[in-house]
Amino acid sequence: MKLYEFQAKEVFARQGIPVPRGRRASTPAEAEAAARELGRCVVKAQVHVGGRGKAGGIKLVETPAEARAAAEALLGKPLKGFLVHHVLVEEALPIAAEYYLSVTIDRTPKRPVMIASAMGGVDIEEVAASTPERIARLVIDPAYGPMGYEVRMLCDRAGFEPRVRRAVGDIAHRLYRVFVESDASLAEINPLVVTEAGTVIAADAKFDVDDNALFRQQALVAYREESEEDPIEAEAHRRGVNYVRLNGDIGIIGNGAGLVMSTLDLVTRYGGRPANFLDIGGGARAEVVREALSIVLMDPNVKGILFNIFGGITRGDAVARGVLDAVSTMDIRVPIVVRMAGTRAAEGLKLLEGSPLIPAASPAEAAKRVVELVKQRR
Ligand code: GDP
Ligand code: MN
């Protein structure tokens, strides 16, 4: 789960990491009011993606009227493929230097790693590619956390100015603490700004929480409600269904992300438009299948459904039972095409005989069939 910058900064501030004064705004009027309070400021589009600066999502403004205009230009419009619902209006900082500081998991030593660089503000991936020697890393023993001397050496290797090392070190320890306590997979500050007066402050914040830990991160789950724009996706998450809403009219359900993706491609190739991605995963039982169908049918655009099941651990007969069970208990008014292969596929298809479900021999045939049926209903 990704947090928005304004949410991440709330989390960081609670941990004592200095962040700029700021207000979230969802309308141009709110942005204008915030700017009146804050003075010269930056208006920042809140989307779950980095590189907003280069894409025009960060605007420096001098007056409340300019803040209003900047918010108007950003709100309700897409930025790097994401619709902007909120902006963050923040006091502008007198920037002297931009550093980079983050904590993430390094899968090779299977430990948290702290990454620091004096080349902040730009894409860290670019720095890593062109001048890797400018990036310093500290692999952390989770039993002890980062030691004071280790962090001091990291700051030294990163090339941080001596006068700010104490302040940066303090932030580094707090960043590690919030990373561990929140079961984060990434806690990143880029840029960590050194102001002209020599104070250190987190001008940007990225925070990703491991979805598998959300059961014990209730305080953070509240942020998800706030950040999730699509109500069906939100409901799917609550029920533990792996669902992404798309804008077509053919519901897609399959097992395995790769199979579902290729099914989306096939449907598109035969002239259809997928309404969603939904992966029921391996070993899916009847209950899971029913849940999946009910999520897909929450989308009123759906005019037909394609099931593409490749039985491995997942058994064809179990899926067939799930579909039949769902069809008999739910009021389904759209055609459902089923393609099944692999473990107990024959048994599954046999169970479907005599039901309104439409069997198909291959993925291509299934895709063609569902596209035809949906076209008739448009
Ligand atoms: P990102 O591009 O999505 O990573 O967004 P950032 O929040 O990192 O902003 C990109 C760049 O905008 C930063 O590297 C800064 O150079 C600039 N910027 C961000 N905040 C401020 C600010 O408060 N004052 C000034 N002058 N520049 C800022
Ligand atoms: Mn940034």
pLDDT along the chain (378 residues), means of 10: 95 98 97 97 94 95 98 92 90 97 97 97 88 96 97 97 96 98 98 97 97 90 73 84 93 94 97 96 78 92 94 84 85 92 90 90 95 92
Return the closest-CA partner of residue 77 out of 59, 104, 103: 59
As annotated, the active-site residues are 100, 188
Q: Provide, for the chain, the percentages of residues in helix, strand and coil under a 3-state DSSP scheme, each rounded to the nearest 5.
A: 40, 25, 30
Q: Is the CB of 49 under 6 A from ligand 1?
A: no
What's the CA gap between 253 and 292, in Å, rounded? 7
Q: Is the CB of 87 under 6 A from ligand 1?
A: no
Give the closest residue (by CA) to ligand 1 atom 17: 53
What global pTM score does this model have? 0.72
How far, in Å, from the CA of 120 to the mean position of ligand 1?
10
Which are the contacts of 218, defined by CB distance < 8 A and separation ≥ 6?
A: none
How far, in Å, from the CA of 117 to the mean position of ligand 2?
13
Which amino acid is located at 282 in the chain?
G
* Encoded tokens for 200: 């250190």
> By the 8 A CB rule, do 263 and 254 touch?
yes
Q: For 243, left (φ over 0), alpha (ψ -120 to 50), or beta?
A: beta
Q: Is the CB of 373 under 6 A from ligand 1?
A: no
Q: What's the confidence (pLDDT) of residue 288?
A: 86
What's the CA gap between 285 and 293, in Å, rounded? 13
Q: What's the confidence (pLDDT) of residue 52?
A: 94
Measure Cα distances from 118 to 124, 132, 133, 195 in Å. 10, 12, 11, 14
How far, in Å, from the CA of 49 to the mean position of ligand 2?
10
